[in-house]
A and B are shown apart, each in its own frame.
Chain A
Amino acid sequence: MTTNKTNASGEPGGVSPRTMSENIVRGLTPSGSPAGQVVAEPWGYHTVRIHEITPEVADVATYHLGFDDSAVAVAYRFQPGQFNMLYLPGFGEVPISLSADPRSSTTWAHTVRAVGNVTQKLASSKVGDTLGLRGPFGSGWPLHTAEGHDVVIVAGGLGIAPLRPAIYELLRQKNRFRSLTLLYGSRTPETILFEHELPEWSQRGMTVQLTVDRADAAWSGSVGVVTLLLDRLSLNDPQQTSVFMCGPEVMMRFVGKSALARGIPESQLWLSMERNMQCAIGLCGHCQLGPTFICKDGPVYRHDHLAPFLNVEGL
């Protein structure tokens, strides 16, 4: 899982940028349900400008985008876990999760790894450049289902980016949850994302545990895969524990396995999926997984809704 929701990023998008301020749905879904929101005009583009670029780690940067149309900026809302389609004319379109604070009212952060044609072009962009944006799309993290619970967030690699908006929201409402824990696995110490924010999250009441897959002698922290952190985590009451996870699919399979072995109910395990998303509204079928379309029905799913398809070869 990366914050770049995969598409055939080398392909031109085939759509023209245009601005339509009415195509954004305001506010969260009434129930906070993870069911995908419907954007009124899903093909309508807004012009966004790069206000700031934060280099994160090698090949990864966060782009802080602002709408040129101030009315759109006022109206734009997203749920933690949702994504936008970012369009670079002449290069194509790419689905990118929002990594921003959902209460932001000025710019919206998208953390992007330069890995395909579109994202590599984005990586060469400068502050002040414009691009097209449509969205937000897909389902968000159903944080309300975890109220009163111990909340465990399991992030792997760039999978922490789609979880960051949820972390902001959980910290803001931390009294509604019994405890907050972040288990974050990275490839190496050099690829830990948002490292500068971790002490602040910890200070605000979240237990943060880091581990890396590979390290040299200079690293004094934990070494080993992130699933081990969950295996070791002391749980107050598994029945009252909720897990939100995002990372490579294999990682999430084993996080799910570990959580179930620890006695956490499957209905309290949530994951965010990545697939070849192109239209973002469930029409093109590129992101189909079994009976579901990741762009429209996901990317956030309850574990038991997706588990039967996670082990199917070729899906």
Chain B
Amino acid sequence: MTALDLLQKAHFASKLPAAVLERLAAIARVVEWNEGALIFREGDHRDDLYVLSSGHVTLEVNVPGRGLTRILTVRSGELLAWSALLGDGRMTTSAIATEPTQAIAISGRELRQLCEADHEVGYHVMGQVASALSQRLLATRLQLLDLFAKPH
């Protein structure tokens, strides 16, 4: 399958117009990881962001005294390594493929250039990124509430 085929099926890209998808596919490539592969380590500088097309990836944070702590599983159709687009490219977690995983990789630098050159593309892409991050923020808040803890 081509990057365009995979993008068309991904939940992250489901609301993007066909023309925008084609522009994204032009700067995208397909990557694969084996089970257990370290995709990136917390603190690494990376240029690529990913949209998973199959498999899943666990995000981990190193907590002193506690070791690597799993905080989230990213699934097929979802966004990974958003810092490559919005941040300085420094990864805020480590990412490990917990099963054979395939993704569409897009260079954050090239995507930023595309968004700056064509604001319509930028509007749609950033809308989807904001939506994905808002969902993740809400989930993180619920995690912080520790809802299933024993009541006191």
Report which A residues bind B (CB closer than 8 A): 2, 59, 113, 115, 156-158, 185-187, 191, 211, 213-217, 219-225, 227-228, 231-232, 247-248, 250-251, 254
Contacts and interface: CB of A to CB of B under 8 A. Distances in A.
B69 interface: yes
B113 to A, nearest CB: 31
A191 B148 CA distance: 9
25 contacts: A115-B150, A115-B151, A156-B148, A186-B148, A187-B149, A213-B147, A214-B69, A214-B143, A215-B69, A216-B69, A217-B67, A217-B70, A219-B70, A220-B98, A221-B73, A223-B70, A224-B71, A225-B139, A225-B143, A228-B135, A232-B75, A232-B77, A250-B147, A251-B147, A254-B138
A215 B69 CA distance: 7
Given A2-B151, A232-B77, A254-B138, A213 B98 contact: no
B67 A227 contact: no
A215 B70 contact: yes
Contacts of A225: 139, 142-143, 147
B41 interface: no
A223 B147 contact: no
Report the 4 A-B pairs with minimum CB-CB distance, sorted nearest first.
A157-B148, A187-B148, A248-B147, A225-B142
Contacts of B75: 222, 232
A9 B17 CA distance: 57
Which of B56, B138, B147 has the most C-beta atoms of chain A within 10 angstroms of its own C-beta? B147
Given A215-B70, A232-B11, A250-B147, 12 more contacts: A2-B151, A157-B148, A213-B148, A214-B69, A217-B70, A223-B58, A223-B71, A225-B142, A225-B143, A228-B135, A231-B135, A251-B142
B142 A227 contact: yes
A265 to B, nearest CB: 21
Give the bracket for the number of chain B residues in contact with chain A: 20 to 34
Chief secondary structure at chain A's binding surface: mixed
Given A220-B98, A232-B11, A247 B71 contact: no
Interface string B75-90: 1011000000000000
Contacts of B71: 223-224
Contacts of B149: 187
A247 B145 CA distance: 13
B143 A224 contact: yes
Contact of A247 (B68, B70, B147): B147
Contacts of A231: 135
Contacts of A216: 67-70
